[in-house]
Amino acid sequence: MTSPDSIKFPTQKLLIGGKWQDAATDEQIELINPATGKVFSHIPNASDADVDAAVKAARATFESKEWKRMRPLDRGKMLERVAQLIEADAENLATLECIDNGKPKHLAMMVDIPAAADVFRYMSGWCTKLTGKTLPVSGDGSHYHAYTIRQPIGVIASIVPWNYPLAMAAWKVASALAAGCTVVLKPSEVTPLTALRLGELMIEAGVPAGAINIITGYGQTAGESLITNAGIDKIAFTGSTAVGKHLMRSAANDMKRVSLELGGKSPTIIMPDADLEQAIPNAAMSIFFNSGQICFAGSRLLVHKDIYDVVIEGVSQVANALPIGDGFNPETMIGPVVSAAQQKRILDYIEIGKSEGADVVAGGGAHGDQGYYVKPTILSNTSRDHRVFQEEIFGPVLAATSFSDIDEAIDLANCTRFGLGANVWSSNVSTCHTLAEAIESGTIWTNCNFVIDPALPFGGFKESGIGREVGEEGVTMYTESKSVCIKLD
């Protein structure tokens, strides 16, 4: 099985100013099913003119009375309608995610689709709660009334990755609209279908024309045109650290606002007093879920030396038992990685790890004779100077090493240039708090993992990014704070 008998594809055009239209050029981008390696559809590659038209449509709506004067309550109701339509379309959205990205459909139904609906519903509540403060200004002793107000930044370029296409689009679009901004969304050219379907649902929900615009195309062409367009006020990007650095350099030319959620090399730390019945399977799934294509995947396993062999054996058993296969099979836990290029990158890293002296104790290669599958792989006895320990692989590859005490665990956890997430397993609450304070990461999950919630700000330290997604910080980062001071006497 590689797909259901019938798939309801979205409109595969550009959404500009509330209308679906063809690109200015005839160039098409192939969409490839990762489970088969075969082309199943095409999308347009937006030109500079298309991008400029989308930005101008977003600007016109942002400056319109209809948008500026829309009651916050009504904007909230609009976002709630989007959430309801996502839930009603869950089966179709999960099907699109599976054929486009390769992830198992049942897991998309469990994670991706609810996450998208939840963030629209959560952000609908923020529309009425973006308030300022009154301030006790001393000044020269005169009577002043001083206060702050929050105003939307303007037109947002939202650029989202291929690993969680719908959920990441929802995070950015819902937050920006809740703040009163308008959006030009560019999904990855590898996985655009659920973003296009989201556009259809948003139109159905009554989102005003131009408030959401969607362009498809390559990052180096359409994406570059978008981030350099003078009509963009803020770039909101999720993707690789290398591209994030490029966006920052580009944004500096005209001081565009920037928020970046970038790469990671997150540690899973298992202390000697951890509950191994919980820690072992969770350590395995923190790297192997979604075939390891998660920015905060627990891709480094740090285990106390006294329990290292037991933990490695347990995680290896989980890795070897995970069903690998087509995403439309409800038994599948490990689907294909997203592309041939990604598969090659991951397999190359496995070879690098072996050449550096790591031991392959599970997996270690491709799976099957078609599609882009990689076996869940564990590289044991890695060290801090190994590339597989330091560099983001973005696949189902775990680099494991041991430590002697809590100080060494902290040192190993912090020795990379990344700082997105960390997982801590210990039965000692003091140890948990000590590690949570010391680890240089944006989120610390303790005796749990993968707790991603619209109320919980998410983002990174160091080269893992700037700013926070979702939560209160995630909506306010789409606003500017303005101070007002009025002399009353």
Q: Which residues are catalytic?
A: 261, 295
Instruction: Please say whether the beta carbons of 426 and 410 come within 8 A.
Output: no
- Closest to 175 in 3D by CA, of 95, 97, 82, 248: 82
- The Cα–Cα gap between 55 and 174 comes to 18
10 Å CB burial of residue 489 (0-12, 13-18, 19+) is exposed
- The Cα–Cα gap between 171 and 155 comes to 16
Q: Is 259 left (phi over 0), alpha (psi -120 to 50) or beta?
A: beta
- The Cα–Cα gap between 160 and 199 comes to 14
Tell me the β-bridge partners of 193. none
- The Cα–Cα gap between 100 and 87 comes to 19
Classified as helix, coil or strand, 436 is helix
- Cα-based distances in Å from 331 to 94, 107, 111, 152: 15, 10, 16, 45
Half-sphere exposure of 143 (CA within 13 A, CB side): 2
Classified as helix, coil or strand, 144 is strand
- The Cα–Cα gap between 419 and 413 comes to 9
The DSSP bridge pattern shows strands 134-135 and 144-152 to be: antiparallel
- The Cα–Cα gap between 226 and 293 comes to 26
- The Cα–Cα gap between 8 and 376 comes to 32
DSSP letters spanning 12-79: -SEEETTEEE--SS--EEEEEETTTTEEEEEEE---HHHHHHHHHHHHHHHTSHHHHTS-HHHHHHHH
Classified as helix, coil or strand, 186 is strand
- The Cα–Cα gap between 394 and 264 comes to 9
- Closest to 471 in 3D by CA, of 33, 129, 132: 129
Tokens of 31: 């969409």
